[in-house]
Amino acid sequence: MTFRMSLKVKTIDLRRHARIPLVLFGRCRLLGAGSFPCHTKDVSAGGVALYAPVAPQEGMRASVALDKIGEFDGEITRIFPGGFALAFELGREQRLQLEHRLMRLALQAA
């Protein structure tokens, strides 16, 4: 007699801020790499995943100017095929303003 057991494991997202799958276009600046076009994979009040034509290293400083939401500085925290994630450095008030802008854009896109 053979028993087969199936487990479905749900992954839990432990991020502080919910990611919103919005495509926004803009420009990114990296020290030593200049400025280049980019677009978002997803955005949250804590950071952004960007597709870009450069391959930076984790820990590098960067700034990004994105249509409809503004300009942000931060640190590259993750590299993925075709892009990277940038953690924003924002104060409480800036983060709240960004959350409101993102919710408005997400509702418009729905």
Q: What pTM was computed for the model?
A: 0.82
Tokens of 83: 């892009």
Buried b (16+ CB within 10 A) or exposed e, 16-50: eeebbebebebebbbeeeeeeebbbbbbbbbbbbb
Distance in angstroms (rounded) separating the CA atoms of residues 56 and 22: 22
Domain ranges (residues) in the chain:
25-109
According to CATH, the superfamily of the domain at 25-109 is predicted glycosyltransferase like domains (2.40.10.220)
- Residue range 3-11: mean pLDDT, rounded: 52
Q: What is the pLDDT of residues 35-50, one digit of tens each?
A: 999 999 999 999 999 9
Whether residue 4 has pLDDT greater than 70: no
Per the CB < 8 A criterion, the answer to whether 13 and 95 are in contact is: no
State pLDDT tens for residues 76-100: 999 999 999 999 999 999 999 999 9
pLDDT of residue 12: 46
